[in-house]
Structure formats: C-alpha cells, structure tokens
Structure 1
Amino acid sequence: MEDAPEPRSIHAIHSANKRQLTYAAPRRARAMPEIPAPDQSHPLHAIDRQVIDQLLAAATPEDGHLVDAARLLHRYEGFPGAVDLKDDLERVLRLWGLDRTALRDRTRAIWAAGYRPGLAAGAEAVGSGFDTADAES
C-alpha cells in the first residue's frame, strides 16, 4: 500500500503560491526617453484668433474683454501649440497693464457681480420663465 503524501502546512502552501506569483509577474517595460511633442493645432484656433484680435484692438477693456482674455488664457495654458495665440494674449495683458493675478481678481469680481456672457448691461431678461409671474391662470 502506498503512503499518502504528507499534508503541507498553510505556511508552505502560501510560500509556494507567493513564489509562483513572483515568477509569473510580467516584466516592466523600460521607460522611453521623453520626446517633445510637436506643436498641436487647437480646433478652436480660428475662432479664438478673431476674439484675440478684438482684444488687441480694445484700448480699455470692458467686462466681456476681461472675461474672454481670462477664458482663453486658461484654455491655452499647458497646451502644446498655438504659440501665436499665447504670445498675443500676453501682449493683451501688457497692453492693459495687467498681470494674470490682477486679471483673475477682476474677472472673479465681474462674475460675482452677476455678469453673464451675451447679456448686455441693462438688457431685459427674456426667457421661458421670465414673464410667468404675471401670467393669468
């Protein structure tokens, strides 16, 4: 009669499983050297070019100009390309005598005062819920 194999301890089984997992682990790929990405073309470049040209023409910025400048600076920050737009946005700030911090502070105040794009100052509010309070049932 054959002898039954000796039962293995939990520790021995765990060690064997750990070795198998260690040996089966995939090898890590070597890190590739970082190659600078080519300049990318932003899909809104043509539209933003028109807006920036309007900003360059504004000697004294209005609220909408300040908001547009801040919006575009944020859009192109860290974008690998559109160098012409980035340079012109920096030129706009110099023209207006502002830095990024001052622009941020002014635009936050503009938004806090209730600014909404496309809504001219003093324009009447129009919309689906505008005149419902006076409607007769």
Structure 2
Amino acid sequence: MTHPMYNTDRAIVDRLSSKPLDELSNADIVNAARLLIRYNGLSDGKDIRGDIVLALHKWNKTPNQLHVKAREIWQGGWRPSDLLKDEVGSGADVNAACGS
C-alpha cells in the first residue's frame, strides 16, 4: 500500500533534488527533512528517501546536517504560511474585479 501523500511528496522530491544547494529555499530544506522522517522505515517510500539521500550527497550534506538546518529554520521563526505571503497580490486585482 502506498502512502496517501506519495504522489505529492514525489513531486516535491523531484523538484528539490534537481536544485543546487545554493538555490534551496527554507521550504525545500524543511520539506527534505520532513520527508526523510515520513518515509523512514516505510517500504513504499524507499525511492523517495533514496532520492533525498542522493541529493544530500550531491549537496555534500548528511541527513543530520539537514535536520539541524531545518530545526534552525523553524527556530528562526519560519513557518509554511510564510509561503502564502509571496503568492498574495496587492488586492488591486480583487477590487477591480468587484467593480470598485
């Protein structure tokens, strides 16, 4: 049985593993760390876990270094909701659509 989030997680891993280290966002780092945890010991996620480990080798990082960095990001106040702030417009387009 496949994890219910497998397809979504697979897309995340494919995207972040294609990036060089200097282009990783906080979200990429946190996602890589949480997916390593999610698929730890799950036979249906060995490919996801393996691809993250391969990316870590490419970045010359260890799983422990990844988890330390992810904790630093969280302790620094970053939250996934920070991503939404970048996706929300000024509101001008909403006002125009409402006839204002």
Query: Normalising TM by the smaller chain, what interval?
Result: 0.7 to 0.9
1:82 alignment partner, SS class: helix
Residues 1-137 of structure 1 mapped to structure 2, 5 A cutoff: 40-60=1-21, 61-120=24-83
Q: Kindly, what percent of the aligned residue pairs are identical?
A: 31
Q: What's the RMSD between the two structures over aligned residues?
A: 1.7
Provide structure 1 residue ranges, at least 5 long, that are not aligned to the other structure.
1-39, 124-137
Q: CA deviation at 1:108?
A: 0.8
User: Matched residues in 2 for 1:53 and 1:81: separation?
Assistant: 16
Question: Residues 71-106 of structure 1, C-alpha deviation per residue, up to 9 Å, x if partnerless?
Answer: 100000011222221211111111221101111111
Say whether the 8 Å CA contact 2:53–2:63 is kept in structure 1: no
1:105 alignment partner, SS class: helix
Structure showing greater radius of gyration is 1
TM-score by length of structure 1 reads 0.55
User: Matched residues in 2 for 1:95 and 1:68: separation?
Assistant: 17
Say whether the 8 Å CA contact 2:39–2:46 is kept in structure 1: no
Larger RCO (CA under 8 A, 6+ residues apart)? 2
2:43 alignment partner, SS class: coil
Q: CA deviation at 1:41?
A: 1.6
Structure 1 or 2: more helix by fraction: 2
Q: How many residues align?
A: 83
Provide structure 2 residue ranges, at least 5 long, that are not aligned to the other structure.
87-100
Q: Which runs of 4+ in 1 moved over 6 A?
A: none
